[in-house]
Amino acid sequence: MIARPLTAGYSKALITALPPRQTRLTVLKKAVLAAAFAALPSMVQAGAVNVKDWPAVLEKAKGQTVYFHAWGGADRINAYIDWAGAKVKGRYGVTIKHVKVGDTANVVSQIIAEKAAGKEDGGSVDLVWINGENFASLKEKGLLLPMSWAPDLPNYQFADVKGKPTLTTDFTVPTDGLESPWGMAQLSFYYDSAITKEVPKSATALLDWAKAHPGRFAYPKPPDFIGSTFLKQLALELADDPSVLSRPVTEENYKTVSDKLFAYLDALHPYLWREAKAFPDNVSSLKNLLADGEIEIAFTFNPGDASAAIANDELPDTVRSFTFEGGTIGNSHFVAIPFNANAKEGAMVLANFLLSPEAQARKQDPSIWGDPTVLDITSLPNEDKARFDALELGVATLKPEDFGPALPEPHASWMERLEKDWTSHYGVQ
């Protein structure tokens, strides 16, 4: 084999302008190395996955097993993930293993630990259900697949990125194509109208209601997601200037918000369920307390939750929903691929299926899950529009015009600080 001359590919002018041979060798070696390093990011991306070549992605995904780390605290969500897994297996030959998660922060810690151990590929997490501070943490540490992949998924064309700006900004942090949207959420409250006749429509009114109905309200213990969301809702309502929560937390701006928040909680806790000596574990525990008649008002981040629970005989059909007059916190949730995922192509196939009109319509059905879609229904083919038109959202689901504004999530740094201080103030075993 004849070796290719070192100077091949360079212009004659460049070569003749070079110093004598030894120096020329050094200069040219440096030039080659510089060019290689400059091209490295695109080489890494192209070597990892070329999402634009979807048939190739499907082919490489066949036979892969995707370990999907997703919250496992609700039976109907678990059943939905099982359904999606069966569809993906049957159509694309990709096996889905649902790893049931209690706190996504533990998944983040697992990915961080693998990075620290030098595990650059063959990771234990292929896809993770994520948003908020967990996404911000992984993105900041460079622990997500280092390429914009989500916008190139075939079904992303139907995502309502114009009408739902939270699809591209997660807790004020740009998604940059590093996570694929899966569902929408907005805080809503529900109650049994056969028992409770008057409901509070603001944080201040809630405190007054709790004092008049001791032991009949509760919220999950942070860092449970819905419990932490309740804290942020209060913080936004009580703050003199809510806009400070859109910026990273500092000692100065934190004190102006936290003083009012914890004063409110100090006043509220004596009137909570079990006098705040114990807290529900999560949104499912909160729902069960209402179903058992131990509390009168519960809340969820899924506007279709109450109707879904009625459809599944978990709540009576007299349950209805309400919201605060000034609006409640809303956001989107996503799926993301860690940097060292073992089944990157399979993870993309699952993410794309979860974004399909078929899967999104089924997810919004309150008898299945009741989670609102991320799609722009008007952009869908008629056959897919019909899937959504046929849905009965249920008696306990508020109409969009009755919901009020969706308040923006605070910067992700606020949740971590509020959870830490809540635990130091009120932590219980």
What pLDDT score was predicted for residue 10? 31
* Burial of residue 400 (number of CB atoms within 10 Å: 0-12, 13-18, 19+): exposed
pLDDT digits (tens, 9 = 90+) for 328-340: 998 899 999 999 9
Residue corresponding to tokens 């309200």: 217
Is 90 exceeded by the pLDDT of residue 203?
yes
DSSP H/E element including 330: strand 328-336
Residue with token string 């194509």: 177
DSSP assignment of 129-173: EE-HHHHHHHHHTT-B-SS--GGGSGGGGGB-TTT-GGGTEETTE
Domains (range + CATH), the chain: 54-183+332-396 (3.40.190.10), 188-330+406-426 (3.40.190.10)
Please give the model's pTM, rounded to 2 decimal places.
Answer: 0.74
The pLDDT, as a whole number, for residue 165 is: 85
DSSP-based three-state secondary structure for 11: coil
Residue of 268, 274, 313, 308 lying closest to 294 (CA atoms): 274
Three-state secondary structure call for residue 45: helix
What is the reported pLDDT for 48? 58
Q: What is the pLDDT of residues 237-276, one digit of tens each?
A: 999 999 999 999 999 999 999 999 999 999 999 999 999 9
The answer to whether the beta carbons of residues 227 and 219 sit under 8 Å apart is yes
The predicted structure's pLDDT at residue 207: 98
Report how far residue 99's alpha carbon sits from residue 78's, in angstroms, rounded to the nearest whole number: 10
For the stretch 98-140, pLDDT in tens is 999 999 999 999 999 999 999 999 999 999 999 988 999 999 9
- Span 354-390, pLDDT tens digits: 999 999 999 999 889 989 999 999 999 999 999 999 9
